[in-house]
A = this chain, B = another copy of it.
Amino acid sequence: MRFLAQCFGAVFELIHLRFQHPQAKRGFSAAGQLVCAVRPTHSPTYVSSRKAATRSPPEQASFHTGHLNYHHCRRHPYHLCHQEAGLHDVQVTPCRCPLFSCQWEGHLEVVVPHLSQTHRVDILQGAEIVFLATDMHLPAPADWTMVHSCLGHHFLLVLRKQERHEGHPQFFATMLLIGTPTQADCFTYRLELSRNHRRLAWEATPRSVLEGVDAVITDGDCLVLNPSLAQLFSDNGRLAIAIAVAAAKVPPAEVAV
């Protein structure tokens, strides 16, 4: 039911975008991309989520009764890089929740149901999709999150508004593989902003969710937007990020650096 609502929402957003963003029409219509509208989540919500998590039984014991969206996950078992890396214990690898202020801890395999159930993170399938962050004007700290399911894996897209220096919020966008660092090296991802005859594109190897969003931001290994740049690419407080994931041609470990 939620998946159907999500599809309707995506179609509605697509129609809306074609009227609201005439300059983006070609990009959206030609590619036939799915659009996922994402609202921000603030720290108060995370606090209540954390309380709920500490009160509920451990998620790793309950994920079999998970959210409807979880079937997206079950359709794509970790088999590609899993075999290459020879990692048979990914399911039981300890992992923290990658979202801001959430203290949840569980196993890697149950991160997706945790995100879906506790944080109501949407899961979208497709080679190329559009992540549409709404209410960009809301104050920091805030996270916009979505799970992108493709190539037999789940990737967590995080757009974070954070004041790394007091009074100066910035936006950080990155994609994390919900898998191990070895598995993450098998992929590349691309985030692209396009509006008003400007285009900003970021391509990188995804980091593992085991490393955490904070480490990625600290390393500068993400797309960084200051408020004026975010404003330039936003339309009425909404920022559209086109996302694409592909298999890496040559795994980084094999390239001389």
Contacts and interface: CB of A to CB of B under 8 A. Distances in A.
A42 to B, nearest CB: 23
Contacts of A201: 199-201
Given A22-B257, A220-B231, A205 B199 contact: no
A232 interface: yes
B23 A256 contact: yes
Nearest to A230: B220
A210 interface: no
A22 B256 contact: yes
Contact of A204 (B198, B230, B256): B198
A165 B228 CA distance: 14
Question: Copies of this chain, how many?
Answer: 2
Nearest to A195: B257
A76 B218 CA distance: 46
Interface of A: 22-23, 165, 167-168, 170, 188, 196-205, 218-221, 223-232, 252, 255-257
A188 B223 CA distance: 22
Contact of A232 (B168, B219, B227): B219
A255 to B, nearest CB: 7
Contacts of A229: 220, 224
Nearest to A168: B165
16 contacts: A165-B168, A168-B168, A188-B197, A198-B203, A198-B204, A198-B205, A198-B221, A199-B204, A200-B200, A200-B223, A219-B228, A219-B232, A220-B228, A224-B225, A224-B226, A224-B229
Nearest to A172: B226
Contact of A220 (B188, B220, B221, B232): B232
The list of the 9 closest CB pairs from A to B, nearest first, reads: A220-B228, A220-B229, A199-B203, A201-B201, A198-B204, A165-B168, A220-B232, A197-B205, A22-B256
Contacts of A227: 220
A167 B165 CA distance: 9
Contacts of A188: 197
Contacts of A199: 201-204
Contacts of A168: 165, 168
A64 B165 CA distance: 49
